[in-house]
Amino acid sequence: MKSRHLCVIAAAVAALVFGSTPASAARAPVSRDASGSRGERASGERAGAGSERREQKPERLRIGPLVGLGFPRPIAVGAFVKVHRIIGFGAEYSFLPPMNVFGADTRFEAFATDVRVFPFKNAFFVGMRLGHQWLSARARITVRRYGSFTESMDASTWFVNPRAGFLFTFSSGITIGIDAGVQLPISPSYERNGLATSAGLASEFEADSIVATVADVLGNSPTPTVDLLRFGVLF
């Protein structure tokens, strides 16, 4: 009897020890693994949300210098401001270095303001310039029986310049662009000065037509415009 009781007690103890302890031991690792997985998922979700917020951070304002090469004024220097990736404003000074054009020593310059709309919030834009340009020229003319005279001519006009093109701004701020349009003069003027002009002789000779042609080609009549390259940095 005593041995039977001892066997029953031993069996009960074994059942308590080996029956409950492995199960609880098995449950504990599962619980730790589950909580670890949940923690990793939560950390991953928070990191993903933070990355997404960084990627979607709106670009409110960029500003910086732009320089360009184009026609009719070969060199342009200015500044540009881009707001919310959808609209931009600028101002520029453009000029033709003093040179001889069609036999006339010519100087050509302009000031303009600029607005551009980026309808798709990418590089493509449509824009408009409004400005004023000045063209001055000096030419030597020869009047038979009277000799040679130096005549000066000045042409100026207000203008609008609708155009379209692309202006790429990279994440570093480096900006590259190209565009084309047409310059439309507003109230162009043309004046001559010199002895031959005062004597009423200049209009009879080629100097007058030379400088008038220069003025028309460079903007006193509707003129195509091309910005072959715009380069700058927008901060």
Q: What is the CATH code for 61-233?
A: 2.40.160
Q: Which residues, listed in sequence order, are joined to residue 192 by a DSSP beta bridge? A: 153
Of all helices (H) and strands (E), which one includes residue 7?
Answer: helix 2-55
Q: What is the pLDDT of residues 210-232, one digit of tens each?
A: 667 777 777 788 999 999 999 99
Alpha-carbon torsion, ordered 152, 106, 212, 192, to 10 deg: -10
Block residue for tokens 């009047």: 143
Q: What is the pLDDT of residues 38-63, one digit of tens each?
A: 555 655 555 555 554 444 456 789 99
pTM greater than 0.75 (yes/no)? no
